Amino acid sequence: MPERKHPDWIKVRAPVSGEYLRTKAILGELKLHSVCQEACCPNIGECFSNRTATFMLMGDVCTRNCPYCAVAHGKVRPLDAEEPGRIAQAVARLGLRHVVVTSVDRDDLPDGGAAHFAATARAIKQRLPESRVEVLVPDFQGDFASVETVVRAPIDIYNHNLETVPSLYRSVRPGGHYARSLGVLRHAKATARALGRELLTKAGVMLGLGEERGELMNLMRDLAATGCDIVTIGQYLRPSAEHLPVARYVPPAEFAEIAAAVRALGFRHVESGPLVRSSYHAWEHVS
């Protein structure tokens, strides 16, 4: 089947600014990966030009093979113990006040990389105590001990994406489990409260994979029931002909309608639009 042509509202400018090149150079110099580059994010030009990036921990190879994702999968490398410090250095050089740190899935590690996330948060806070740290974590295969390791670190936002509605998990996210992801978000919130602090939790979904509006709203109710504070809703874009096709391009007006319905469920912030990704304009989600 031929690929659908992107509608006009999906098109973005090619990255050309000096700040874009500077950000890219800093990441290269420090041997750091970003989800902006590895996942072919359409917002890379805007974000790099604004001296922001979503750092990707633990290499650029994932142990899972989700058919929507552009990140490579296969044989992974040992963890780099110096990586947290280099990320903190990049944060300082870029002058970031809101830092988003994510990772590939590392199901080969006993804790899924939770301790590495925690070490990175500590390194950033030690270097820039005023910076807000948002972690976008995998599901850790449902291991609550790993969730607790991350929550006990000096983080400000705990983000874990559901990606899609439960009926599409088998085809879209075969390595994940819908109920498990909800449980991770619920446990992160409960752990923080048990520690005597409020921690913002956040989740994101993609549209255009064949989901129905009713399914989407049921997902949002499930998220609200976990105590989730922030939701991001964006359009799935096919990275290559080898990935899942786009079932539908959702127009901007429909994204606005969905946002209004989701806000009515009581979320603190809802970011909804064709080019929205979970870390896009992340600093505005908590302002």
DSSP, collapsed to helix, strand or coil, labels residue 262 as helix
Q: 3-52: per-residue pLDDT in tens?
A: 557 788 776 665 566 776 777 788 888 988 775 554 455 555 565 555 56
Helical packing angle, 18-29 and 83-94, nearest 10°: 160
Quote the DSSP letter at residue 140: G
167-172, long-range: CB within 8 Å, 24+ apart, which pairs? 167/211, 167/215, 168/209, 168/210, 168/211, 171/67, 171/244, 172/66, 172/67, 172/68, 172/209, 172/244
Q: What is the reported pLDDT for 41? A: 55
Paired residues of 272 in beta bridges: 233
The yes or no reply on domain 12-286 and CATH 3.20.20.70 is: yes
- Tell whether the model's pLDDT for residue 255 goes beyond 70: yes
| Overall average pLDDT of the 183-210 stretch | 97
Measured CA to CA, the distance from residue 188 to residue 156 in angstroms comes to: 12
Q: What is the reported pLDDT for 28? A: 83
- CA end-to-end span of the chain: 44
Domain ranges of the chain: 12-286
Q: What is the reported pLDDT for 96? A: 84
CA distances from 199 to 46, 150, 232, 252 (A): 28, 11, 17, 31
Measured CA to CA, the distance from residue 113 to residue 104 in angstroms comes to: 9
| Overall average pLDDT of the 169-175 stretch | 94
Q: What is the reported pLDDT for 38? A: 45
Measured CA to CA, the distance from residue 212 to residue 163 in angstroms comes to: 14
- Tell whether the model's pLDDT for residue 231 goes beyond 70: yes
Threshold 0.85, pTM exceeds: yes
